[in-house]
Structure 1
Amino acid sequence: MKMKKFINEPENLTEELLEGLAMANGEYLQVEENHMVINRKLDEADRVTIVTMGGSGHEPCCSGFVGEGMVDIGVIGDIFAAPGPQICADALRRADKGKGVVYIVLNHAGDMLSGNMAMKMIRKDGIQVIKVVTQEDISSVPRSDAGNRRGLVGCVPVYKIAGAAAADGKNVEEVAEIAQKVADNMATLAVALRGATHPITGAELATLSEDEMEIGMGQHGEGGGGRTKVKTANETAEIMVDALIQDLQLQSSEKILLLINGSGATTLMEQLIVFRRCKQYLEEKGIEIVGSHVGELLTVQEQAGFQMCMVRMDDELLNYWNAPCKTPYFKM
């Protein structure tokens, strides 16, 4: 398939985008060998540190959230591909400042393979590392089988809240426990009108007809059996809100964080219209939005659609969500 993208040689995509990231955001981060994106102030850190990893092609995630108050090292793989386990192990060693490391991994096959192997590699080094897995895509399997759920944009509130807990001086067990609490109390559902193309091969990740959309698209076009005729913003919002409420078993008077994450080719206009109906509909059900974000956090190239993520909140999580942070693509 012929693509129209502003790129140079496809094989240099990851290298060049990370060089551009570092050039544009030198006050926050630096890029070292093997595609390690590192918090510029990491060497000053006298606290628990946060490491994550994932394929490129999903910008700003996860390289764009490296900086103060969120991620200390993001290890970046090639387009839609996990980085290798040796590089991840090296990042865990590089991140440790004597207080331990929380290692946040999205539940995808390649990421989990690299993540688990990296954990084995560093066992003999005496570094205290606790791995937290994000696995909140409700379209793939039921909550009772959450270990087989994909990780979507829910990684971002985990980064933010875990990073804030680390900055607050919590020890590694406490930071991991707080991160796990977020992971256990969130749910995400993705919808798409059009799939993306792989920026190197031009292969289509998903194909939908002009009158179709899919609720349950997953991250890379995996699909979840929710193909239907295109619906309005309000109708789509209500279907997705209902599904997320059911998964989380939310009750009237509960409080949530709500993210509307554009997948790459959905305008902010559309995202805000969806958010508008979500807020109205949730208020009708007695559920309060106490934190929110609308915009692109984790994209899939030019996929047209969005991911809706809900996190059940309490005072502790809300305090950490609202804590200051300074990263290229997320600031509080």
Structure 2
Amino acid sequence: MKMKKFINEPENLTEELLEGLALANPEMLKIEDNHLVVNRKLETADRVTIVTMGGSGHEPCCSGFVGEGMIDISVIGDIFAAPGPQACAEALRRADRGKGVVYIVLNHAGDMLSGNMAMKMIRQDDIRVMKVVTQEDISSVPRSEADDRRGLVGCVPVYKMAGAAAAKGESLEKVAEVAQRVADNMATLAVALRGATHPVTGAKLASLADDEMEIGMGQHGEGGGGRTAVKTADETAQIMLDALIKDLEIQQGEKVLLLINGSGATTLMEQLIVYRKCCHYLREKNIEIVGNHVGELLTVQEQAGFQMCMVRMDDELLSYWNAPCRTPYFKM
């Protein structure tokens, strides 16, 4: 089935989108063999570096965050597919500037397989690598079984705060501790009105009736068990906030970072209306939003819906969140 998209030959999607990314941002990044998206300033980096990986088709994540203050190398696989372990191992070797590497991996089966194999492949190399896994989707299993939780848009605040700690010149152990602290103190819940399609095959990742939505759908159409009749923006926001607050056990007086991430086919108008309700509702509960982002960070082609991510913040994490960065799709 030929997709109704502005593409050329489907088998060239990944190469062409990466070429376009590099041409649009020549001062920030470059593309190297095996789909490595590399920070232009990596060669002169005298600090801990950050590597991540994931499938293409979720733009701007992950390669749109390569640059100053965030990611140094992003390893990209084909559409919705993890890159191979050889490319990941090459990226870890390429990234090391003598201070160590923090390797951030989203918890999906293919990513974890490649990530773990890459760690084994570099075992004999003189490189210090510390791996941090993001696994914050609360829809599938309870926090006590967090190893089975999927990684969603929460990878972005991990990139941002770990990248800021690295830019500050912190040690490998400290940068990894910051990344892990963010990972341990975040929770994400997604909602979808319509599933995406695979841009190469045209296959539907999920099907929902016109009067249905699903709270808890994963970014590849995985079910979350929360199918219900379509609700208003305010009703949806409150349901999701209650679930996130409960999972994190957020108390009155605490400070949080809140992200509303559009999944690809949800307008900024809708996202802002949802965020408006979040602000009012959290204020009523005496929970302070000290950082935010509303917009597309991790998409799933034309999936209609959004991901809501909450991170418990402290003063140190807030300083890292507010630190300057310059990447194609995230600047502060």
Q: Is 1:80 aligned to 2:80, yes or no?
A: yes
Q: TM-score, normalised by structure 1?
A: 0.99
Task: Give the Cα–Cα distance (whole angstroms) in 1 for the partners of residues 43 and 157 of structure 2.
Answer: 24
Task: Give the Cα–Cα distance (whole angstroms) in 2 for the partners of residues 3 and 92 of structure 1.
Answer: 35
1:200-248 Cα offsets, whole Å, 9 max, x none, are: 0000000000000000011111011000000000000000000000000
1:111-162 Cα offsets, whole Å, 9 max, x none, are: 0000000000001001000000000000011000000000000000000000
1:47-70 Cα offsets, whole Å, 9 max, x none, are: 000000000000000000000000
Task: Give the Cα–Cα distance (whole angstroms) in 2 for the partners of residues 4 and 284 of structure 1.
Answer: 45
- Where do 5+ consecutive residues of structure 2 fail to align? none
Amino acid of the residue matched to residue 265 of structure 1? A
2:201 matched residue in structure 1: 201
Amino acid of the residue matched to residue 261 of structure 2? N
Task: Give the Cα–Cα distance (whole angstroms) in 2 for the partners of residues 2 and 264 of structure 1.
Answer: 20
Amino acid of the residue matched to residue 136 of structure 1? E
SS across alignment from 2:124 = helix
1:165 matched residue in structure 2: 165
Task: Give the Cα–Cα distance (whole angstroms) in 2 for the partners of residues 138 and 196 of structure 1.
Answer: 21
1:275 matched residue in structure 2: 275
Count residues in correspondence. 332
Q: CA RMSD in A?
A: 0.5
What is the CA distance between 1:3 and its match in structure 2?
2.6
2:103 matched residue in structure 1: 103
Q: Is 1:323 aligned to 2:286, yes or no?
A: no
1:150-182 Cα offsets, whole Å, 9 max, x none, are: 000000000000000000010001100010000
SS across alignment from 2:260 = strand
Amino acid of the residue matched to residue 54 of structure 2? G
1:268-300 Cα offsets, whole Å, 9 max, x none, are: 000000000001000111100000000000000
SS across alignment from 1:236 = helix
Amino acid of the residue matched to residue 17 of structure 1? L
1:211 matched residue in structure 2: 211
1:186 matched residue in structure 2: 186
Task: Give the Cα–Cα distance (whole angstroms) in 2 for the partners of residues 328 and 271 of structure 1.
Answer: 21
1:9 matched residue in structure 2: 9
1:287 matched residue in structure 2: 287
Amino acid of the residue matched to residue 45 of structure 1? A
2:118 matched residue in structure 1: 118
2:102–2:175 CA contact under 8 A, matched in 1: yes
Task: Give the Cα–Cα distance (whole angstroms) in 1 for the partners of residues 311 and 118 of structure 2.
Answer: 29
SS across alignment from 1:317 = helix
Would you identify which runs of 4 or more consecutive aligned residues in structure 1 move more than 3 Å? Answer: none
Task: Give the Cα–Cα distance (whole angstroms) in 2 for the partners of residues 117 and 173 of structure 1.
Answer: 22
- Where do 5+ consecutive residues of structure 1 fail to align? none
2:41 matched residue in structure 1: 41
Amino acid of the residue matched to residue 141 of structure 1? V
SS across alignment from 2:306 = strand
